[in-house]
């Protein structure tokens, strides 16, 4: 009964990849991976266990996105505000890229995935940067899914840097103030070369952007779930994309 009702509403109780229209897959999906700490707490585990488990979700969702034909997957892994956390947690989080890539890099290479990083390299420990740089260079010529890690990323910092760069070009006479347009701004952001996200997903029930891609998300579809990141599965991902496919994107038009 419920299943039929769901079907009538165009919903499926357990969405599958096959239930999605292959014609309207979002090109760029961005995810605020949130709730690792609460997931761990719920189980009586230390927060670090949640971060560790969250890495498995990264793998799971990367594979699912790739199979669906998503072209860009941006994952918010560490914000410029996350430095406020206790040093032990920050240190642990900074080890995760290396841990993840030690295990997964070969598979990413063979699956034609291109790794990118979006964020400031300042203050990142060498082992974090080195692991990422290795992944970026080893996958630079890959042409499949672009897996973009937002690490030490903050949207306001990113926009201020872009504005400083614009101001400098104006001062140097390379750019007229009247020529500052959306393109001039976009190409100075860390996401330069990537299309704006079509779909933003945030897990863990928080309904905010937490300084993530404020410029780029202007017309993105937003999808929130209460599910914590470590328990986020393909099924939830398909559910988000199914929702996305049922929405009308008007961009202010009719």
Burial letters 157-179, b for 16+ CB under 10 A, else e:
bbbeebeebbeebeeeeebeeee
How do beta strands 146-153 and 199-202 pair?
A: unpaired
Is residue 34 part of the annotated active site? The answer reads: yes
How many residues would you count in the chain? 254
Residues that bind ligand IPE in the complex, under the rule CB under 6 A = 32-38, 76-79, 82, 93, 204, 206, 208, 210
By beta-carbon proximity to ligand IPE, the closer residue of 10 and 205 is 205
Q: Is 141 marked as a binding-site residue? A: no
H and E: helices and strands count for the chain:
8, 6
Q: Is 37 marked as a binding-site residue? A: yes
Q: Is 34 in the site for Mg ion (CB under 5 A)?
A: yes
Torsion of Cα atoms, 81 then 62 then 195 then 93, to 10°: 20
Q: Is 51 marked as a binding-site residue? A: yes
Is residue 142 part of the annotated active site? The answer reads: no
Binds 246: which of Mg ion, ligand IPE, none (CB < 5-8 Å by kind): none
Alpha-carbon gap, residue 200 to 79, rounded angstroms: 16
By beta-carbon proximity to ligand IPE, the closer residue of 77 and 145 is 77
By beta-carbon proximity to ligand IPE, the closer residue of 32 and 201 is 32
Name the binding residues for substrate: 35-39, 47, 51, 79-81, 83, 85, 202, 208-210
Name the binding residues: 34-39, 47, 51, 79-81, 83, 85, 202, 208-210, 221
């Amino acid at each position: 009964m419920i299943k039929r009702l769901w079907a009538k509403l165009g919903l499926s109780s357990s969405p599958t990849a096959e239930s999605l229209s292959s014609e309207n897959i979002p090109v760029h999906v961005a995810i605020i991976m949130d709730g690792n700490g609460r997931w761990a707490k719920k189980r009586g585990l230390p927060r670090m266990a949640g971060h560790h488990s969250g890495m498995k979700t990264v793998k799971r969702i990367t594979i699912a996105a790739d199979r669906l034909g998503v072209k860009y997957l941006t994952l918010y892994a560490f914000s410029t505000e996350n430095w406020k956390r206790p040093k032990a947690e920050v240190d642990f989080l900074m080890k995760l890229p290396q841990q993840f890539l030690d295990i997964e890099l070969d598979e990413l290479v063979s699956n034609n995935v291109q790794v990118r990083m979006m964020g400031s390299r300042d203050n990142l420990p060498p082992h974090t940067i080195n692991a990422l740089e290795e992944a970026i260079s080893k996958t630079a010529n890959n042409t499949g899914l672009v897996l973009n890690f937002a690490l030490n990323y903050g949207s306001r910092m990113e926009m201020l840097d872009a504005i400083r760069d614009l101001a400098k070009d104006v001062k140097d006479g390379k750019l007229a103030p009247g020529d500052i347009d959306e393109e001039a701004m976009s190409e100075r952001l860390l996401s330069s070369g990537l299309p704006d996200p079509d779909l933003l997903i945030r897990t863990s029930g928080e309904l905010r952007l937490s300084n993530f891609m404020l410029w780029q998300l202007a017309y993105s579809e937003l999808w929130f779930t209460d599910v914590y990141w470590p328990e986020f599965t393909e099924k939830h991902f398909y559910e988000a994309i199914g929702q996305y496919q049922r929405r009308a994107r008007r961009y202010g038009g009719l």
